[in-house]
Structure 1
Amino acid sequence: MSGVRLIETLPKVQSHLHLTGAMRPSTLAELAARAGIDVLPVLDLDGVHEWPAFQGRYDAARAAVRSAADVARVVREAAEDDAAGGCGWLELQMDPTSYAPALGGVEAAVEAVLAGAAAAPIPVGVIVASSWARPGAHATRLATLAARYAGDGVVGFGLSNDERRGRVADFAPAFRIAADHGLARTPHAGFFTGAAHVRACVETLDATRIGHGTSAVGNPAVLDLLVSRQVALEMCPTSYPPFGVHPLASVPVRAALAAGVPVAIGSDDPLLFGVGLAGQYALCRDVLALDDAELAALARGGITASAASADLKRTLLAGVDTWLASP
């Protein structure tokens, strides 16, 4: 591990970031004060929590976002923060259902995010996400919505929330719509569930990336499937310890890389977990002991698996080569 090359100068992409969780703490404090609401304290990162402890804080933060201007601000600031850490392409995930009551409908919610993306300092693609906790028919409606904006900045369709709360087969129609319109397919899987759930999302939903997917690393057959289809795992190191999924030092980034699985590093919800994109790479270096070549492999995996344009991918990949060749 050379320790010479700066993490912030390594070209990278952000493939796993949720809209509310991307909010700056200072912005949340300002919006909450303006709205006259109390926000739950930040998650205690030293403890182990059940999902509702996270979801309650996330919902409370989202309640402070009251207008299209608020949404656009969150998007722009998230892009500024990631750009400062060397990010050249950001994919931001949002469930428009959650913002529809405040903004006047799901279309208005998507358009507010797209307006923020247009004002961002780096290119931003939007992933419309449904929830594992909602019916498959709801996901189909949102996939149809995502397809409508496929040429206007929406680049993917996902499933977020606790993956234990839904059946994979129920969401197959929604993901067929996404595939038919050339959208990336990025369901969360393999966080609380086992490797079989990751396999089902690849085979039944035709996933192009898996949100988290760390349980797959313990199953050679599923690893082979991911390698053969070049399905990337979006790993977010600080997301796992608070739920008892993995201690930080045991997040299986290196094992996935060694198996030939593309790995895209993300920050998930820095508002709650406290670490942005460059900080996640720093943890890969300083805690997981990845060397510069492995960090470059992470950057390449994220870039290649992203929904960025071919030209932008070439530029970013060349930048990774330059970074690694520098003294």
Structure 2
Amino acid sequence: MSFTELPKVELHLHLEGGAPPAFIAGLAKEKKLDISGIFKPDGSYDYRDFWHFLEVYEAATSTLQTPDDYKRLTLAVLEESAKNGVVYSETFISPDFCGGRDLGAWREYLHAIQEAADEAERTMGVTLRGIVTCIRHFGPEKAKETALCAAETAGDWLVGFGMAGDEKKGKPADFAYAFDMAREAGLGLTVHAGEWDGPDSVRDALDALRPARIGHGVAAWHDRHLVERLARENIVLEVCPGSNVFLGVYKQLHDHPIEKLRENGVAVTVSTDDPPFFHTTMTREFEQLNRVFGWNEEDFGYLAKEALDAAFCDDVTRAKIRKRLEPADV
């Protein structure tokens, strides 16, 4: 079975994290920035562990300095998505990296990203929507500024608000004000939790921030009551199996709980997280899930529909994408 052509819905993709290393190296050369230390001799990204990955990620992001840089980035990322059969994607973007949380500057960056997304939809057939993320290890005060940027630009394209970064820093409750601001603006909510910290990190995020989705969330498997709660409350997990294995959260995909979570009624979706960093694509994710767990075309069709149901887009967009998931259109 060829998985490339299967229509896919991806809900957990960091825009900067989707940047091909050659693209970042090219930008650095243009701007005369020396970030050679973040690359291996073969040109791929180089880092030791998750926390070093965060440093390398931010170093790569330092090359993205103008709205036009982000327009070019968006086109490069969406080209890769389209090659792998993605028909709808939601991407994490942050005013922290796009204008330093200044609302006026953020609007310019957002406009450039949207322009690229519109072009990609016309020419590549992939639909993109944005989720603003605050950065957890930057602290709650900066998160409030980020949430204000999100609330002021919420609409048909900017559809969500979330939190990424080092989940061991601070408590979810510290960020409640920012999430309340985003909720009042009508944005869908998601939180990274349960990747590097235990089940309590997922529970605390649910209690304090009331998101509809959890980014990763795989540590929930170690708490039976929490698994039951996720299923009962229909909390959707944005699972990134390849990322989890590459970073060592699990030694191998066979150890990953995605299949067990699914069997216990938890709504799971599949995404790439930061694909070039983790040497993965949506096609490769499907191939590996087929190889290890035997997921087939029917499973992946259900997965795409479940992801679309969990998407933060408006109903018009959802209906349009749903037609593309029908077997006759594959």
TM (normalized to structure 2)? 0.88
Partner Cα separation in structure 2 for residue 38 and residue 16 of structure 1: 26
Instruction: Kindly indicate whether the alpha-carbon contact (under 8 Å) linking 1:16 and 1:234 is maintained by their aligned counterparts in 2.
Output: yes
Structure 2 residue aligned with 1:31, among 17, 27, 32? 27
The residue number in structure 1 matching 2:39 is: 41
- 1:296 matched to 2:294? The reply is no
Cα displacement (A) at 1:141 = 1.9
1:80 corresponds in structure 2 to: 79
SS of the residue corresponding to residue 138 of structure 2 reads coil
Q: Does 1:271 align with 2:271?
A: no
SS at match of 2:238: strand
Q: CA deviation at 1:163?
A: 0.5
Cα deviation for residue 213 of structure 1 reads 0.5
Alpha-carbon spacing, 1:51–1:197, altered in 2? closer, same or farther (3 Å)? same
Query: Which whole-Å CA distance do the structure 2 matches of 1:233 and 1:136 have between them?
Result: 24
Conserved 8 A contact 1:262-1:305: no
1:175-219 C-alpha deviation (Å, 9 max, x unpaired): 112222221111100001111211121222111111100001222
Checking the alignment, whether the CA contact within 8 Å between 1:117 and 1:124 is kept in structure 2 is: yes
1:169 alignment partner in structure 2: 173
More divergent stretch after superposition (281-290 vs 69-78): 281-290
Q: CA deviation at 1:49?
A: 4.0
1:156 alignment partner in structure 2? 160
Equivalent position of 1:187 in the other structure: 191
Equivalent residues in 2 for 1:135-146, closer than 5 Å? 135-146=139-150
The counterpart of 1:284, out of the listed 257, 280, 289, is 289
- Relative to structure 2, which stretch is displaced further, 119-128 or 309-318? 309-318
| 1:215 is the counterpart of 2:215 | no
How large is the RMSD of aligned CA atoms in angstroms? 2.6
Matched, 1:125 2:129: yes
Q: Displacement, 1:112? A: 3.1
Cα offsets for 1:119-152 (capped at 9, x unmatched): 2222211111101112222212211211111125
**SS of corresponding position for 1:7:** coil
Post-superposition CA distance 1:197-242 (Å, at most 9, x none): 1112122211111110000122221112211221111111121234
Q: Which moved more, 1:279-288 or 1:201-210?
A: 279-288
- Count of paired positions: 320
Cα distance, 1:315 vs structure 2 = 4.6
| Contact residue 73 and residue 116 of structure 1 kept, 8 A | yes
**Aligned-pair distance for 1:110?**
3.0
Alignment of 1:2-41 (within 5 A): 3=1, 6-36=2-32, 37-39=34-36, 40-41=38-39
1:258 corresponds, among 237, 258, 263, to 263
TM-score, normalization by structure 1 = 0.89
In 2: Cα distance, 1:86 partner to 1:247 partner: 28
List alignment gaps of at least 5 residues for structure 2: none
Aligned residues: percent identity? 28
State how far apart, in whole Å, the 2-side matches of 1:82 and 1:235 are: 17
Contact 2:101 2:146 in 1 (8 A): no
SS in 2 for 1:186: strand
SS of 1:158 mapped into structure 2: strand
2:203 is matched by which residue type in structure 1?
R
SS at structure 2 position matched to 1:61:
helix
1:254-278 Cα offsets, whole Å, 9 max, x none, are 1121111111211111121121222
**Structure 1 residues 64 and 287 mapped into 2: Cα distance closer, same or farther (>3 Å)?**
farther
